[in-house]
Amino acid sequence: MTVKNLQDLLDEGVQGRHVLLRADFNVPLNDAGEITDEGRIDASLPTIKALLDGGAKVIAMAHLGRPKGEVNPKFSLQPVANALSEKLGQFVALAADVVGEDAHERANGLTDGEILLLENVRFDARETSKDEAERGEFADQLVALAADNGVFVSDGFGVVHRAQTSVYDVAKRLPAFAGTLVEKEVSTLGQVKENPESPYVVVLGGSKVSDKLGVIEALAQKADKIIIGGGMCYTFLTAQGYNTQNSLLQEEMVDTCKDLLERFGEKIVLPVDLVVASEFSNDAERKEVGLDGTPEGWMSLDIGPESVKKFAEVIASSKTVFWNGPMGVFELPNFSQGTAGVAQAMIDATANNGSFTVVGGGDSAASVRVLGLNEDGFSHISTGGGASLEFLEGKELPGVAVLNS
């Protein structure tokens, strides 16, 4: 990565300078508005602490959820401000708005080594606008918060695949630097993208084939094996002629899956058994069945134990593993064993075979923490699900490319 990084900025000096920091604080909340996984906040701490220790006046920008350009208290960043206050050991104020009067007053009042969190940038519809002029107007207002001699630090890897105001347009208007997290993500994922040691195994899950189609096409050229579980495997199994009853299915993708199996069948590894349920509930009646054994009206919510063994054997012989997407509905304890089994197989491969194992963000990263697995057992856990997939697929990430401009 040839862009200027955080160390370059610290070498220049940040004492007394306003730093607009784009972080990724899009954390999951429960019904009570409590954060259920603080992984993305924790990942931002090295960059934030380095800036504060250097005497910067940090103005953090982030989004939460999809408020669709309107102010919605449900998506307020107050829980994030509270968590940051606790983790940093200093008060982190949350502005009542994004670029309004309160944001300006608080930004102007920052002293060296203090941090302000702006309210959810997606409360302003211009953040995600397709109109460059609208985004530019919003970017100018954000940049104005940084006053003279301000700089921009990009540290939200989970959003760098989007050309949005706080990610892209602000970077075009200020001296821009890659934060520790973005630099590490690009470097680590670049190793998987450019020079994966063989055998190279890709593990894909999640709900939709359509979401992963591009990455299957791209990685099938490089990977030795592509393991497919999660909701997307049922479309592949349907393409093979199995009736998975009420399991998740993308009917419009069945022919596409048939084509993928014809072209890359020797590389694609599918489940050999399933865990099925009478309804979508942790308390539902459940059974372990063969691929053609799903009772009428039932649905599969996880891969079965024989599938876990099969997948684990493939992973055990790997030297590089990239995983994106859970194997089942891991949020329901009775249907989490498939995801836990595959994750543990990666941990074992790291320890026993020296495999380079990468968890590709999103639900996969969340599942590692929710299931209480050893995060240090993987070589790298990414903070960006969509960003990591698009990077490996070979797409340009606007939020990274702009740092080179």
Domains 6-184 and 196-393 equal at CATH topology level: yes
Q: Give residue 2's pLDDT.
A: 64
Q: What is the pTM of this model?
A: 0.90
- The CATH classification of domain 196-393, taken from the options 3.40.50.1260, 3.40.50.2300, 3.40.430.10, 3.40.50.300: 3.40.50.1260
> Annotated catalytic residue: which of 4, 17, 22, 40?
40
Please report, in range form, the residues annotated as the binding site for substrate.
Answer: 24-26, 40, 63-66, 122, 162
- Average confidence (pLDDT) per 10 residues, the chain, 405 residues: 86 97 95 92 97 98 96 97 98 97 97 98 98 97 94 96 97 97 94 94 91 88 95 96 95 95 96 97 97 96 98 97 96 96 98 96 89 95 91 93 86
Taken in order 237, 240, 243, 245, the sign of the CA dihedral is positive
Q: How far apart are the first and last CA of the chain?
A: 13
Please report, in range form, the residues annotated as the binding site for ATP.
Answer: 212, 331, 361-364
362 labelled catalytic: yes
> Annotated catalytic residue: which of 156, 362, 384, 385?
362
Amino acid residing at 401? A
The CATH topology of domain 6-184 is Rossmann fold (3.40.50)
40 labelled catalytic: yes
Q: Which of 141, 189, 139 is nearest to 167 (CA)?
A: 139
287 labelled catalytic: no
184 labelled catalytic: no
| Distances 399 to 22, 54, 86, 158, 393 between C-alpha atoms, Å | 10, 25, 29, 10, 16
Domain boundary assignment for the chain: 6-184, 196-393
- What burial class does residue 76 get, using C-beta atoms within 10 Å of its C-beta: 0-12 exposed, 13-18 middle, 19+ buried? buried
Cβ contacts of residue 109 below 8 Å, gap of 6+?
none
Q: Give residue 362's pLDDT.
A: 84
